[in-house]
Structure 1
């Protein structure tokens, strides 16, 4: 039956959530909705201010699709629109600016979202005609001919990267989710679409001339046999390209997936499905983040599209009926903690819990049935069938629990990456549902009850909950706050959540009555270069390139671009300029976007950096500047 979801303040009717959209993998519409909700933050900057052409599969990819340009009758009034005049008349296109827009498109079975390279806000209010379309990016679509492997496309993409770098343009690869690769580049200033098309054609023609047996720039299909076709025409104002992070309407739920240049050089390169993409996003963020800016507002000659917000709140509120996607458990969304210091908090007024590296899960048990919801409001019941065991031990209790689903690795530490990819990895792991609050018991709403009393009730339920092998109620940490933080750090936990003992449970709110402390790591690194700043940092340092001493040079561990004051940047630039050298001090090859704009320096300066943890590629995650270590030399590390 139809259900109502609230996404970003918009109510959306969703239907047929169990419909199989990808028969080969059994992927349902529910899974598609969950994917677009999770990917919205990173996808929206790459499609915002661009009219969307959709390719829809109403009956799943086992049947035929159809292209759709004009918005259908019944489109919500809140969906932004842009009107384009064609010879045959005017067509009204949708423009996505929020997660709600993406959810509505997914509900309409629009699996593929295609956009032009030009942007509405760059083309001028009231502009009309392709000649006025302007863009700040370029794309080349590498389309392999019959029997040409993806590996061959990747080799050609690497050659395009070098050509673009010689022209001073950073570039970004995207495996298309089909057979080939898209290569994007960002212009330093907007240009007309036809100018972008001319640049792309020049690159394609030059590579085809240099590699005539491997590459073609010809539109003739006959010329593509055993070659990679470089489609430069997609920069034309009338053309569109599958958007980054869009699903493909293929046998499997493959995605137009942003990649790194290191991956393109890997001979085992393959297309990615939506599970892979989500795992990578959680671990490493968006590889395409530097391509498109966050657009503050977009205006066109037909509709004021208002403010585009990259940050979204994806709280979904369900209504009556057995919804498979809903955002509430008995009308409750999880309470969230504020980022505030806990060092001065004492045991008498505050309680201290571990902060776990997993999925926030609300669980409802009623008459032997257990239903699970994520923090963003997505039904996770099918994702963790192991928690059905709670239905046996909780008989006689109608209860709503709040907790975290975690995966312990072989060393006994929680590992989010392992949790998210556990079905596709052979690593040893142990699942646990760590319960830290009770919100409802046998028809009594406990959200207005002080935390101290709710904890007493939870402690009374603890023997029952813990009798299930999948669940436990973790003990509290000894205070005060500084001691709790040290205890969490010593045990390798993500951090600490401090909760005011008198606090009520405030559904859906981030409150200073709950405070989170994340455990950051400190490391001493050597500065090997820097990239110039942009915008407000123009004329100074944008980020430092840092490494750790290794045999033969420095092992690159990432960029540090936050934590500086203006005086820090001025002092660092003055200190590094006399150390400038002509080649990289780092071992191996850095990604071209990093190396192409880098200024290399003698590796003499030791710095202290704070970071969360390590990425899967051996780089610092969320590094932040702390200062220069004047007491140490690189040889001391």
Structure 2
């Protein structure tokens, strides 16, 4: 790896792979991105000032999958300023960008997109986040041009002018336009959000055929969606002048209102942004001004620390008014998990298509393992399958999660949702390896992938939107350094990209989750949708046939699925087993033998004549190529017993 040293603002920064092409379509290298950061720094820094930065990184270039990063990674230079948000006394440290050197370091780690909230650290105290500006994100719906989006932006400008607020347009570098407005007074984030919503709603009422202020996808066809929610304290917006992780190196570019009034508006690449800046300076200079700062505590090392009680504040502000909000526990008070939460069952996804979903959705990997709710109470963990079976004894390695959930020497109660997987030598989850792990010599690594948090430290989170729960989960630091527990990052959108990335990584599929969805216990909800990368089916074992030349061996399993009249026959599964699995299956099926065929279909006499029937109790997972014309499985192969499910779950 080639390395060089660059001195910027008195800081020596180690740079590597400067010839690495980050934007293959244009040949734009890391060197070019570093150069852009240095040349645009004076314009960009005021719009990042005193705001924690969340990053999207593309180490492999924009044709590869990015990853979303909040916490500062190991090896961050000491001179990068930190801002620590305490989530119920769990700390997440964000960088605060103050110099060109900071921007160059971010470019070195391929952090192309820099996202910031509208509130500022220096204007906030330990209770409220405050801001001196609002932003309206104009997102054109299907078949809506950037010119049409610009016309809506101009109408917003006129409305803001009438209110005495100066406004500034920025083409976002992606599809739409950001309209910023400088507020005449300092306000709380909640107030800024209310102002932005009022503006968006007024625009939608005035032009319902071209504008919508609701997030529902069905409302966006032929309209411009005005996203007012990005003024919420918990949300971020791409910073002005930031690059985009698009095929071409577009940037969030400040524009003039005259440009927006002319037809043919387009997004600008970073080279065009530099040329404009050299010619006319920062078109957003009037957006950031001096505002009286609110006193903020400082921790050792100069890091700003504010105990914002992140998820508790969200809980109290977003929960429906019809439900009373319990007071959060005090620092030494422990509240037991409410009885209703101890009876939770996993929320399930439907098989609805995910193609074409909009920005209201996010995407997670679908892994090949056992779904489990993890309940940690009083320092002890229990793993409960989707059918209510206790899996704790099957996975003693995962009891370490209770050891992790400790604060100030005291246990923290929690209910988490996740998937237990076995990773093979290639690092891919392998269901067959998971179920045969006690009988195989093949190497594997056990993991608990966490993807939801339902209860934490006295707070019920099930009524919170998914995006709030996900933000809380991402902020948890309890499991840092614990190898068997992880929180996999989200997949990049849109859906087509998420599916492609999941396939490339060898995952079972993708789960799309509506950002506003609450957690629905034990039910399939269209707010969660799954798409597999190959065909598989969960079946019930109804019998078996002996192997050739041996009545003491299983040759194939006879399987089916529950139907209205009984068990419907799907065919025979005779491949994919190891000898050890076949021996174990025979021992398990012998006590279940019955005299009558459990299938409601007519089974071919040669098959039925040699079959041993069993009580249809065991659920298994089978992969297959396709369906035959008679409704049977074509080329089925065994994957393993599903200990987490019962026939009634299918």
Instruction: Please tell me the TM-score bracket, short chain as reference.
Output: 0.3 to 0.5
- Scaled by the length of structure 2, the TM-score of the pair is 0.45
Structure with bigger gyration radius = 2
